[in-house]
């Protein structure tokens, strides 16, 4: 392995390996930590890559510890990459009393405003620097990539897929923030990262990207009906309306009684991994729902 990447931990799971790694990020100007599950099939050939982006207050560890993805990823032969949600470190600017901004709340944007522009470059980190590292260090088939995420990470997955449709073969989300430019818990963060000109926010808003002509082949979203953030922060009906107008196929499942937690995510994780595996599949990879 590269001397720029360090192994923090490594454990066998479902015949594969769950690892946690760190590296010095040029993009974020600090050390970054991420998790990778490599399935047993990777001993024989490169495997497709599924990116999972986590939500506010999370790190790579939340889905790794509570997402329950390894059994199905091992069955389907999927590498699962879980980046952190923001830069971290003593020199990284933060608002420690604000869970909706700063460390743990990078919103997958490239900040343009001081003092955040030096470190908060999560869009470039997730789309450029970390994929290059994964391609170099792991048995990954980078011609077959998918992306999904939860909440803020669902927002990240949707916007990244819409701006990079040639790279990702599939995109899904759990309870995504579909229009962060008008949601109360994300507007202040976008203004601090990107400035007061709301025109610069459009590139990080899934509904506005669709309005501006960005397209993706199809989208899959699960949303709990008992999610406390549903009406004010998430509002999947806005994505539904935008996709309908643009002709983007959207499977939106409103899951009765489920909330915003990892109890919800872990319940439907297998469905999402099968969805991605089917769209990433070749004749030797497991199939999933069409």
Residues recognised as catalytic: 151, 227, 260
Locate the DSSP E strands across the chain.
5-13, 16-25, 30-38, 47-53, 79-83, 140-150, 168-174, 219-224, 250-255
Residue 82 and residue 34: Cα distance in Å, rounded? 6
Residue 16 and residue 121: Cα distance in Å, rounded? 31
CA distances from 138 to 79, 154, 217 (A): 9, 25, 28
Residue 104 and residue 113: Cα distance in Å, rounded? 18
Our CA angle for 143, 165, 36, nearest 5°, is 50
- Does residue 115 have a cis peptide bond before it, meaning omega lies within 30 degrees of 0? yes
Strand partners, 10: 19
Residue 33 and residue 234: Cα distance in Å, rounded? 27
Our CA angle for 22, 34, 51, nearest 5°, is 145
Considering only CA atoms, give the Rg of the chain: 18
Compute the Cα dihedral for 157, 85, 202, 228 and give only its sign: positive
Q: Quickly list DSSP for 111-170.
A: --STTTTTT-BHHHIIIIIHHHHHHHHS-EEEEEEEEEEETHHHHHHHHHHHH-TTTEEE
């Amino acid at each position: 392995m590269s001397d720029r990447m360090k192994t923090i931990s490594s454990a066998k799971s479902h015949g594969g390996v769950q690892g946690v790694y760190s590296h010095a990020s040029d993009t974020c100007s600090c050390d970054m930590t991420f998790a990778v599950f490599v399935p047993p099939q990777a001993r024989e050939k490169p495997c497709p890559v599924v990116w999972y982006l986590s939500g506010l207050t999370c790190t790579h560890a939340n889905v790794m510890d509570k997402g329950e993805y390894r059994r199905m990823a091992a069955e389907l032969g999927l590498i699962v990459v879980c980046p952190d949600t923001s830069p971290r470190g003593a020199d990284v600017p933060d608002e420690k009393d604000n869970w909706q901004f700063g460390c743990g709340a990078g919103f997958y944007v490239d900040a343009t405003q001081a003092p955040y522009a030096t470190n908060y470059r999560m869009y470039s980190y997730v789309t450029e620097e970390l994929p290059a590292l994964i391609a170099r260090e792991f048995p990954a088939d980078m011609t077959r990539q998918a992306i999904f995420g939860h909440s803020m990470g669902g927002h990240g997955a949707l916007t990244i897929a819409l701006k990079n449709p040639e790279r990702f073969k599939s995109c899904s989300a759990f309870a995504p923030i579909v229009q962060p430019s008008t949601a109360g818990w994300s507007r202040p963060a976008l203004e601090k990262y990107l400035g007061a000109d709301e025109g610069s926010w459009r590139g990080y808003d899934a509904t506005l990207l669709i309005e501006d002509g960005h397209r993706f082949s199809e989208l899959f979203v699960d949303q709990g009906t008992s999610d406390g953030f549903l009406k004010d922060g998430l509002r999947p009906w806005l994505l539904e309306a935008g996709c309908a107008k643009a002709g983007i196929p959207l499977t939106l499942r409103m899951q009765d009684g489920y909330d915003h937690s990892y109890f919800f995510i872990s319940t439907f994780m297998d469905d999402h991994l099968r969805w991605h595996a089917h769209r990433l599949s070749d004749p030797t990879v497991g199939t999933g729902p069409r």
